[in-house]
């Protein structure tokens, strides 16, 4: 089993330009770093980083954080304000219901704010629950670990 896992990890490292799976690891992405939560793997994606749960899961949890120089364009939505540790200004955030799957209803959180360098920081997270609406604690924790470089 260990050899199979080594082959799979080697294949992933050769396939993706950036893959990490570890406990409490900091991930360096385009101009920032974040903490990688246990049970997640990271890949670089278009100016940021995308995190996805590892292993076989019945529910979905994904997260993407990226920065850009210009304001983030969104469709008209009802946003709420949320303070995030480490940021001087609150983030605008909105949760949308996406649909249902075998693990329950899927939701997407979109949060937009600025870091202390003036970069627009965008976080898009997906979570799935059988009952209720997710609080996206994993996503907010990762965003709170954000540090510009």
Total residue length of the chain: 149
Q: What are the tokens at 147?
A: 């540090």
pLDDT value of residue 145? 95
pLDDT of residue 76: 55
Q: What is the pLDDT of residue 75?
A: 66
How many beta carbons lie within 10 A of that of residue 27, not counting itself? 21
98 and 126 Cβ atoms separated by less than 8 Å: yes
CB atoms within 10 A of CB 140: 19
Q: pLDDT of the chain along its 149 residues, tens only? A: 444 444 334 433 333 444 443 445 888 877 899 999 888 889 988 789 999 888 766 667 899 999 987 777 766 568 899 999 999 999 999 999 988 777 788 999 999 999 988 889 999 999 988 888 889 999 999 999 999 98
Q: Which of 121, 124, 102, 103 is nearest to 112 (CA)?
A: 121
């Amino acid at each position: 089993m260990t050899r199979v896992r080594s082959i799979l990890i080697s294949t992933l490292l050769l396939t993706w330009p950036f893959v990490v799976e570890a406990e409490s690891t900091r991930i360096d992405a385009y101009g920032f770093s974040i903490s990688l939560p246990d049970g997640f793997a990271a890949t670089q994606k278009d100016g940021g980083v995308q995190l996805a749960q590892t292993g076989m899961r019945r529910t979905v949890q994904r997260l993407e954080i990226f920065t850009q120089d210009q304001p983030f364009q969104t469709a008209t939505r009802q946003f709420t304000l949320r303070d995030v540790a480490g940021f001087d200004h609150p983030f605008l955030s909105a949760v949308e219901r996406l649909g249902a799957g075998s693990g329950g209803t899927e939701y997407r959180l979109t949060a937009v704010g600025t870091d202390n360098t003036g970069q627009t920081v965008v976080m898009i997270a997906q979570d799935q629950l059988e009952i209720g609406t997710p609080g996206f604690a994993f996503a907010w924790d990762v965003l709170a670990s954000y540090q510009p470089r």
